[in-house]
Structure 1
């Protein structure tokens, strides 16, 4: 059975995904419904306490979510505000979850609500600083563990083999530098005087040589910012050359993941048509190359714990192994604290 880290913020979705109708997602095996009211966003257990119908199949009326089965209405705190069939007793309450909207994303706290600390929301201010025309969003459902998706991003040598026609060509042979950070860890790759990958041919022709740099920054449970840059080999790198992207892996269940991506750039920021072309290329890489491989991998692993299968680890796995160990340690510490007798 998968143990999840509870007292952290998970991404529930992007702000643009939540409109006038409820949005339902399962987070760490718990069905949740989010809805937008005049006072902000609320998140409730997606289960009416009457007959356990999903509240997400209902409607939003007067800042309340109304069950589509028998018309009971609940406010953002989970309190029953209307019972058409009698008194709205306190027993008709639905569990609510702390939720925050920040950096164009919706964040939910699945643990002890008293410990919900907005200071723990990842700092993704680079998204706020980027105009919409220079952002590329993805939301993918992947039938694989969020840990496998994290492993995939902390070992980017796979790009040379899984994405040879788009993102690959500059990773193999580069020993990653792995370092612990205040927030988690970072893995960095740098390869100089290489042929630029196809993804960058609009900026650097295939006949030129380039310097390639990538840095993946991870924090528990599974939020990453990946920074990349490709520059002509005869000059240095500036912030304007860098592409920064959020990769957020929210576990749906032990073997399925909500995968959220928001890529940003500093060049051609007003060029929406350029964004469309980039999105098509990235969609092919993420949806038609990464996703099938991860799902095939999960099928081969089945329900077993990865470590129990004794994988033959390589130097390229250093970042993924360290992240797994850090996450396991945080989960163990949280569970120990929860089981400790109160004073």
Structure 2
């Protein structure tokens, strides 16, 4: 009996393999189990989160910007890209062949324009446009350029030193000029803001004149009379590689009076008009001079008559406006 009790006592002193140990002898085993279970849950949670993030990153946009459009135009050694859309464009990037890419941020713009210089040789222009929804559109086009000339011609306009009623124009190119055009357009001012031509409205277009240059010509200078009133001079110069330079300049021509002369029954009829105002009218009949006096008339229209007789006369009429500009007209009368 005592032996049995002792053995029982020994049994009570041993940690049970399963169940709860009232003496706390299996705490280590429990802690290990808890830690292992927690680790499994943590790993599973991270995996689930990672799958969710990956899913969001790789999720393809559900919409496509149907209004996005890319147009390219080549002029000489340059390509102009025009990207338009109904929604802001995110990004535009381009490169030649497999070269370095150039990025253009959309900055919430609906229209993006970029001028790109074409390198010499046979090249592929590769363009990628990222639309509002994140879709990428790829475009590419081949360009062949035989010459390394990529510079536009130069155009310079200065006042003629010898005559205020004229301007001097110089066009030049580093290789060869092909031709140039120019025209005088009439304008009216529509705003006081903006640059010299942004605040102007063309009201009538003049005749376009063209000058074709001989082969090898690199520079050309000539003078032009400035038409009276408000003008825009539009000049375009083209070189041998079809590089184009355009210049528009607002130029106010000095206004000169208009004079009409007629004779009837020995009477000379004079009609003088000027937008600013006629200041003085002077008549010279065979060297005998008469005028309207030193006090400015300041009239936009003057009609006057002088008796000169029916014999032969050489008459010169000079009309001066309020700016000091004058118009001279001659007439012969009699038999």
Greater gyration radius: 2
Which structure has more strand as a fraction of its residues? Answer: 2
- Using structure 2 for the length normalisation, give the TM-score: 0.20
- Using structure 1 for the length normalisation, give the TM-score: 0.19
Which structure has more helix as a fraction of its residues? Answer: 1
Structure number with greater CO (CA < 8 Å, separation at least 6) is 1
